[in-house]
Amino acid sequence: MSNTNTSFVLQKINEISFEDRAIPVAGPGEVVVNIKATGICGSDVHYWTHGSIGHFICKGPMVLGHESAGLVASVGEGVTHLKVGDPVALEPGVPCRNCEMCKTGRYNLCPDMKFAATPPYDGTLCNYYKHAADFCYKLPQGISLEEGALIEPLSVGIHAARRGNVKLGDRVFIFGAGAIGLLTAAAAKAAGASHVTIADIAESKLNFAKTYSADKTILLTKKRAEGQQSNDFARQMAEEILAEEGVEAANVVFDCTGAEVCVQMSVFLVKNSGSIVLVGMGASVQSISVADVSAREVDVKGVMRYCNTYPTAIEMLSSGKVDLKSLITHRYEFKDALKAFQHVKEAREGTIKVVITNDQ
């Protein structure tokens, strides 16, 4: 293990550099983890290129990365469930544990959440990261550290499926065939969904989805006519989709894109009394047909990260209910982290998940 704490730091918009920072010391209830694998999330790239996401604004240097796993390097006072050398997946958000949301089990909505690589908190793309021990989960034998890192995006899918209350026999429709869409599909299947349709604008992603978790895929190619209202276009597109062989109105529609037209189409693709779950993050203000939502008693639900998902994710991996290895299409060494970020930024064809590995 390294004697330095090299860290990948966002200095300002479009400027990232490596820094040698102090190796953290584990306090009571904490561990220091030697980070070995980190997946790149779209939010990491967005902070790099824009400096903010919504009301989270970078006002100073910040270490990037939050999808990570590694080996326990040191253990603080009072920690008994982990020891030095244990492989762990890090759940990157640590709540206050005392507010109403925490005490009712919905700690992802804690107003005092400290989440890695969300301003002003540093992320995990470093040699050593200090974290609350109770948000580090020991990985069973047979689960790699790369898989451990991808438990974070899998958790988004698990939480989304729970928010949609996916049940045995449900039909599910998903917009977006990226990692989150694919993992939402996998979680929905594990929850009992009998049929999953995934739609996207990228044929290469849909080709992968056919081999992963989709029963049917739909390539979205049609463009809105000049002067046509977005919601009218969405209704027209939904009607055409429902006319395709093997497609029926869905019990649950997940939007994993954030694109307004996909959110609008969701209203017309869901069954009466069904649910629309907004997983993707797009424009902060969007329009939908409230008349249709109300008249058909459609539930529209938001998703804020996840809670109480890591143990479930580990069980899914251990039992073979989900495959994370095949999602990793590209790997970069830590020293080439900037190249990895450029790869994701360019949205290169054939890319599902990029992982940065660290042998230091």
pLDDT, tens digit (0-9, with 9 covering 90-100), for 339-359: 999 999 999 999 999 999 999
Neighbouring CB atoms inside 10 A of 59's CB total: 9
- Where residue 2 falls among pLDDT bands split at 50, 70, 90? confident
Give the pair of three-digit tokens for residue 6.
Answer: 């090299």
More confident residue, 192 or 360: 192
Across the chain, what does the average pLDDT equal? 97
What is the four-CA torsion angle of 293, 294, 295, 296, rounded to 10 degrees?
A: 50
Name the residue ranges covered by the structural domains of the chain. 5-150+324-357, 157-302
Cβ(185)–Cβ(198) below 8 Å? yes
Q: How far is it, in rounded angstroms, from Cα 13 to Cα 161?
A: 34
Q: Please say if the pLDDT value at position 1 is more than 90.
A: no
Of 325, 339, 345, 279, the C-alpha closest to 149 is 325
For 336-339, which contacts have Cβ atoms below 8 Å and span 24 or more sequence positions? 337/8, 337/16, 337/18, 337/125, 338/16
Interaxial angle between packed helices 151-163 and 179-191, expressed in degrees from 0 to 180 and rounded to the nearest 10: 50
Q: Which CATH code of 3.40.50.11810, 3.30.70.3170, 2.60.120.10, 3.90.180.10 fits the domain covering 5-150+324-357?
A: 3.90.180.10
Residues in the chain: 360
Please tell me the predicted confidence (pLDDT) of residue 360: 87
Q: How far apart are CA 355 and CA 189, in angstroms?
A: 25
- Report the percent of the chain where pLDDT is more than 90: 97
14 Rama class: left (phi>0) / alpha (psi -120 to 50) / beta: left
- Give 77's pLDDT tier (boundaries 50, 70, 90): very high
Output the CA torsion 95→8→258→169 (10° steps).
-60
Q: Region 222-228: what's the mean pLDDT?
A: 94
Residue 179 burial (CB count, 10 A):
28
CA separation, residue 310 to residues 23, 53, 135 (Å)? 27, 25, 9
Report whether 84 contacts 32 (CB < 8 A).
no
pTM, two decimals, is: 0.97
Span 3-15, mean pLDDT? 96
CA torsion angle 262 263 265 270 (round to 10) = 130
CATH number of 157-302: 3.40.50.720
Give one word for 32, left, alpha or beta, with left for phi > 0 and alpha for psi -120 to 50: beta
The continuous run of DSSP H or E covering 354 comes out as: strand 353-357
3-class state of residue 254 by DSSP: strand
